[in-house]
Chain A
Amino acid sequence: MEILIQQLFNGLTIGSVYSLVALGLTLVYGILHIPNFAHGALYMMGGYITLTMMTKYGFHYWIAIIVSILVVGLLGVLMERFVFHPLRDAPPIHDKIAAIGILLFLEAFAQFVWGAEYQSMPTPYGQVVEIFGLTFTMQRLLIVIAAIVVMILLTLFLKKTFTGSTIIAMSQNREGANLVGINTKKVAMLTFMISGGLAAIAASLSAPINLVFPGMGHLVILKAFVIIILGGMGSVPGAILGGYILGFSESLGATYISNDYKDIIAFVLLVIILSVKPTGLFSKGGH
């Protein structure tokens, strides 16, 4: 029983990270209608920048995260401006290949600057707390809480503010948004900024319990793709829900099925979903 609860909590932690990454991916998909393969590289850059800020410049954890959000967000904006914007009328296969090019570059860049070694990130929240006889590390609790706060803020931003609703308007209908006077270029850049920021938050939060290395984005991005297919491409609540579903099924699968094959669970899930419904679970048809 205790193992079960412990694993459920682990699932909640992993799921929070997955949800944050998937949220960024789904927002960009809503705007551009392309899967951004470079999103995993943004995640990786987020981890490295936070790490550098902390170890090299001695910033506090939270300040380092804010710097990382800004830098990675800017990286996202640059990507949209210089790569995806010129490609907006090209066949979809071109966007995908361009994104792969960015991914390859950023990974080689990280390896060049920071080296290929696995690095661990120090955290001021390493203490162990005991609640109801179960032991948690503070960092894991922090991941869960911070992720939920970020998700609430993002939802409020999208639903309650004017700028937020322009993003939703644009994902619903690009031409329509343009017609009613929304500056679609600006909104696209803003979306990339948010998406990069979310990736940076997710990486910075999860890095202390995992490790930082150039390939750290690979598995996460693949799983984020599975999540947005699970939750419907472009759907915000779908990404959150899908993230937690995957987090739970992985942590339970690791304990009760096989630890070696736990990474396959996500992909098997995807294979099953797409075999039954080729356009994803909650897709609205058309398009």
Chain B
Amino acid sequence: MSKIQRIVILGLILFAIVFPLISNNDYFIHVMTLSFIWMIGVYGLNLLAGYTGYLSLAHAGFFAIGAYSLGLLTVKAEMNFWPALLLSLIITGVLGFFAGLISLRTKEHFFAIYTLCVGYIIYLVIDKWDSLTEGVRGLIGIPAPANIGPLSFETLQSHYYLVLFFLLLVVLIMYRIVHSLSGRTYIAIRNSEDLAQTIGISTMKNKLTVFVISTVIAGLSGALYASFVRFIGPDIGSIAIVFDFLTYLLVGGLGTLSGPIVGTLLIVVLSQRLQFLQDYRMLVFGPVLTLLIIFYPRGIVGTAAAWGQKRRSSVHKTRLNNLPEEQVKEG
């Protein structure tokens, strides 16, 4: 990481920390917290679709599983928030493990279609299993996170910091994964699975690990959502959510570390501006998604990075070309 990058990142984190202090508008803080929650989910999808090349359309389902596990554990089983959070992550992970075990046997289109169907099954089960999930009525009265010692999470500001903490944690984990040998392994699988297998990578084991990590992160995002919004309905498991995730991810940049943050923030802010469109916002975002994938498949971050690299290499080249002359002069 270069020095400039370090400063930019530190600056952004600082800004995120002081944001609730400067902005007295509760609505903005609310929107920011929500977009942080989405970002976490998008990071989950990014690890699988962006770095490993498997487009999973089941992630809304795992988001919903995380949300409903937390909701049911705290509302119906009346558990404390923190063990419930941990348990809901474990539930999502275990379900993700079994879903991955079968779905990862398939590839490409089959994988996309398969996960689309898995997502739909999860949605239908949540919608129809009235006795457990309250069906279309939804789950009401999910408590805020319990206090940790003197820390309480009743206010909006404190909730904001809690979500920010989890977001930073997820980003850190992603950074560590992507820059480790495992991360490189995943990218190798994305670039060519056959080749990866040839050089001795156990693709199934790696893919399954990614799938589970990615579903757990989606589950975390769902659990945070449930405790933040306090009300969940089966709609959060619908295909529309996974399409939202995809839009955020693609606008930011598929397979980039900062893509999920950039894309989510941009689209959420734009959506707030375009609020008069409400249900019709897809009238704008649908074509944007399509045009983006045709002309800028790498998203904002990816395109900017490629552009920067090109400039740097051209600067480098001119310097090389100029080098002899300078040396001549000096000589």
Residues from chain A with a CB closer than 8 A to the CB of B290 are: 83, 98, 101-102, 105
Q: Which residues of A63-114 have CB atoms within 8 Å of chain B's CB atoms?
A: 83, 86-87, 90-94, 96-98, 100-109, 111-112
Known contacts A35-B109, A93-B55; is-contact A263 B124 (Cβ 8 Å)? yes
Residues from chain A with a CB closer than 8 A to the CB of B105 are: 274-275, 278
Judged by a CB distance under 8 angstroms, whether A260 is at the interface is yes
Residues from chain A with a CB closer than 8 A to the CB of B285 are: 101, 104
Is the pair B102, A101 in contact by a Cβ cutoff of 8 Å?
no
Is the pair B117, A94 in contact by a Cβ cutoff of 8 Å?
no
Residues from chain B with a CB closer than 8 A to the CB of A91 are: 53
Q: How far is the CB of B317 from chain A (nearest CB, A)?
A: 28
Q: Which residues of B81-113 have CB atoms within 8 Å of chain A's CB atoms?
A: 102-103, 105-110, 112-113
Q: How far is the CB of B138 from chain A (nearest CB, A)?
A: 18
Report the number of A-B residue pairs with Cβ-Cβ less than 8 Å: 120
Judged by a CB distance under 8 angstroms, whether A34 is at the interface is yes
**CB-based nearest A residue for B282:** A108
Report how far A253 CA is from B110 CA in the complex, Å.
25
Judged by a CB distance under 8 angstroms, whether A225 is at the interface is yes
Set B49, B117, B288: member contacting A267, Cβ < 8 A? B117
Which residue of B120, B280, B290 has the most chain A CB atoms within 10 A of its CB atom?
B290
Set A105, A226, A261: member contacting B286, Cβ < 8 A? A105
Known contacts A35-B113, A278-B105; is-contact A93 B53 (Cβ 8 Å)? yes
Is the pair A218, B279 in contact by a Cβ cutoff of 8 Å?
no
Known contacts A108-B281, A275-B102, A275-B105; is-contact A86 B246 (Cβ 8 Å)? no
Residues from chain B with a CB closer than 8 A to the CB of A6 are: none
Report how far A106 CA is from B239 CA in the complex, Å.
15
Known contacts A108-B283, A275-B102, A278-B105; is-contact A97 B116 (Cβ 8 Å)? no
Set A86, A108, A225, A279: member contacting B294, Cβ < 8 A? A86
Is the pair A108, B279 in contact by a Cβ cutoff of 8 Å?
yes
Judged by a CB distance under 8 angstroms, whether A203 is at the interface is no
Is the pair A104, B289 in contact by a Cβ cutoff of 8 Å?
yes
Known contacts A94-B293, A278-B110; is-contact A261 B287 (Cβ 8 Å)? no
Judged by a CB distance under 8 angstroms, whether A49 is at the interface is no
Report how far A98 CA is from B292 CA in the complex, Å.
9
Is the pair A93, B49 in contact by a Cβ cutoff of 8 Å?
yes
Judged by a CB distance under 8 angstroms, whether B250 is at the interface is yes
Residues from chain A with a CB closer than 8 A to the CB of B294 are: 83, 86-87, 94, 98
Q: Which residues of A195-235 have CB atoms within 8 Å of chain B's CB atoms?
A: 218, 222, 225-226, 229, 233
**CB-based nearest B residue for A29:** B109
Is the pair B114, A274 in contact by a Cβ cutoff of 8 Å?
yes
Is the pair A102, B286 in contact by a Cβ cutoff of 8 Å?
yes
Set A107, A225, A264, A274: member contacting B106, Cβ < 8 A? A274
Report how far A278 CA is from B103 CA in the complex, Å.
8
Judged by a CB distance under 8 angstroms, whether B118 is at the interface is yes
Residues from chain A with a CB closer than 8 A to the CB of B250 are: 97
Judged by a CB distance under 8 angstroms, whether A129 is at the interface is no
Q: How far is the CB of A102 from chain B (nearest CB, A)?
A: 6
Q: How far is the CB of B197 from chain A (nearest CB, A)?
A: 15
**CB-based nearest B residue for A93:** B55
Known contacts A274-B114, A278-B105; is-contact A218 B239 (Cβ 8 Å)? yes
Is the pair A274, B102 in contact by a Cβ cutoff of 8 Å?
yes
Set B55, B114, B283: member contacting A270, Cβ < 8 A? B114
Q: How far is the CB of B185 from chain A (nearest CB, A)?
A: 19
Q: Nearest 3 CB-CB pairs, A to B?
A: A105-B286, A101-B289, A101-B290
16 interchain pairs, CB-CB under 8 A: A83-B290, A86-B294, A93-B49, A98-B293, A101-B286, A101-B291, A103-B286, A105-B283, A105-B290, A108-B281, A222-B116, A264-B125, A267-B118, A268-B121, A274-B102, A275-B102
Residues of A within 8 A of B (CB): 33-35, 83, 86-87, 90-94, 96-98, 100-109, 111-112, 116, 218, 222, 225-226, 229, 233, 260-261, 263-264, 267-268, 270-271, 274-275, 278-280
